[in-house]
Amino acid sequence: MGTDCLRCRISNVIASRRRSNPFLFFLFFIFPLLTACSDFLEPVKSTPEPTEYSYNYWLLQRTYLFEDELPQLDENGDSISELYSKLSDRFTRYVPPSKSEETTTHINTSIVPGDVGMEYSLIPEAEHPLIISRVYAESPAGRAKVPRYGNILSVNGVEITGDEAYATYDSVLTYSKDISMAVAYLGDTTLYEMTKEDVYAPTVFVDTLNETIIITITGFKLNTVDKENGTLGELKAYLDSTQSYLQPRLIDLRNNPGGHVSLCTAMADLFIESGNISTRSWRAFAPDGEPTHRTETEVAQSGDAGEKGKFVALVNKNSASCAEIFAAAIQEGAGIPIAGTATYGKGIGQSTWKTPAGGLAIITNLEFLTPKGNSYHKIGISPDYTCESATFQCGFDAIQKFHGKKSKKSVGSLLEAKKFIRQKAVTEGALMPGDDE
């Protein structure tokens, strides 16, 4: 109570003097405060804003994984492309502001801009060699009910024939918004009318071949046809809907270039009942801006639908990065056999950073180990069942070996044919947002 009264008295005195003589109030009460703090009398030097070059230099010095290369970087340069060109790691790169939004969209989503929503295979000996190998349900083609395995005869009146069939088709679709497509299927020819749109492609596909279900995972994206949970949501939805299925299934990871680390570890967790999923160590910076090293191990949580199923995974030399994290995790953590050929061998990953000018710095700063602590960088994941070629037949033979299900020989399918997707270059990697995002 005494302290409060004292405060009241001081306030009353200040108010009284301020009312009676404003100048004296300034002289006796405000001026001493100003003179006691020199910052009011002398200008404060402000810290200059970092340039785009200095920010990227600072970031590389504190996060780039291969520290022995950092002394060769010029602190006072002005060419960002030259700054990054001095580094040996081809995955570390700078994306200028004019392309950063497009790159970020491609990293995070499965959007195929301006498309009808189909994938294609070529049958070279056919008069009209372009075959529809997939139709995305949530797309113009899906809504028009274009048949899977239909044969494309013409698009907007242009016949699709010869060795350049796909190039011709792609050219017509690129420069036309409204599409009129003649497709032959089961002896009938139908004209399908569609208008192109930005299509969210699926990244998990389920097919049946040789009486075996094949789960194909093409990448690890945050936003796909499942807008909220991306590739993880697609796979989880399928596994949840088939948790009572007892027959062995094939997980196809061939030609999967990777994606987001948060997804490939969470998806592996769907199959692992307990124990480690993956360990990562990385260079980062502490709150004071100094470089530091961190390590973290992802641990599985039980109760997911994939834990009780029977699976074999199929990989090849193009199964890379995040796909390798997933493959190693289910191999060592869930005991799921791997078939095919050795994987790419990319046990490093990148963090992404928004720069002051709106660019995007993608910097290798992560290293990954398998659940048992093994490194596979520049080595790859070794299959439990090795084949000369990572075909579906290889996967079916592995299923027979590990699960006792007999396989038909010489399985042929359009699923094995080379796929054509109207999508820009694939971004490979094991990607994470920078620590400041």
Asked whether residue 10 carries a pLDDT value surpassing 70, the answer given is: no
How does residue 47 score in pLDDT terms, banded at 50, 70 and 90? low
**Cα–Cα dist 88/106, whole Å:** 24
Asked whether residue 154 carries a pLDDT value surpassing 70, the answer given is: yes
Is residue 8, in this structure, part of any structural domain at all?
Answer: no
Asked whether residue 284 carries a pLDDT value surpassing 90, the answer given is: yes
Question: CB-side exposure of 341: number of CA atoms within 13 Å?
Answer: 12
* 87-139 residue pLDDT tens: 999 999 999 999 999 999 999 999 999 999 999 999 888 899 999 999 999 99
Q: Per the structure, how many domains does the chain have?
A: 3
Same domain, 406 and 292: yes
How does residue 410 score in pLDDT terms, banded at 50, 70 and 90? low
User: Which tops the pLDDT comparison, 3 or 159?
Assistant: 159
Same domain, 268 and 139: no
Among residues 67, 86, 111, which one ends one of the domains? 111
Asked whether residue 37 carries a pLDDT value surpassing 80, the answer given is: no
| 156, 172 contact by CB (below 8 A) | yes
Asked whether residue 403 carries a pLDDT value surpassing 90, the answer given is: yes
| 25, 11 contact by CB (below 8 A) | no
Same domain, 240 and 301: yes
Among residues 199, 226, 254, which one ends one of the domains? 199
Is residue 47, in this structure, part of any structural domain at all?
Answer: no
Same domain, 277 and 205: yes
Which residue reads 């009353």 in tokens? 12
* Paired tokens of 400: 């027979």
Average pLDDT rounded to a whole number, residues 325-333: 98
Same domain, 193 and 126: yes
Among residues 140, 165, 199, which one ends one of the domains? 199
Same domain, 105 and 136: no
Is residue 313, in this structure, part of any structural domain at all?
Answer: yes
**Strand bridging mode 348-354 / 188-195:** unpaired
Q: What is the CATH number of the domain that holds 284?
A: 3.90.226.10
* 84-98 residue pLDDT tens: 999 999 999 999 999
Is residue 39, in this structure, part of any structural domain at all?
Answer: no
Is residue 38, in this structure, part of any structural domain at all?
Answer: no
Same domain, 57 and 70: yes
Same domain, 61 and 137: no
Is residue 335, in this structure, part of any structural domain at all?
Answer: yes
Same domain, 66 and 119: no
Is residue 181, in this structure, part of any structural domain at all?
Answer: yes
141: containing domain: 112-199
**Cα–Cα dist 387/342, whole Å:** 10
Is residue 180, in this structure, part of any structural domain at all?
Answer: yes
Same domain, 168 and 277: no
Share of the chain above pLDDT 90, in %: 79
How does residue 428 score in pLDDT terms, banded at 50, 70 and 90? low
Same domain, 285 and 351: yes
Same domain, 388 and 404: yes
Looking at residue 14, what is its pLDDT? 36
| 368, 349 contact by CB (below 8 A) | yes
Q: What is the CATH number of the domain that holds 124?
A: 2.30.42.10
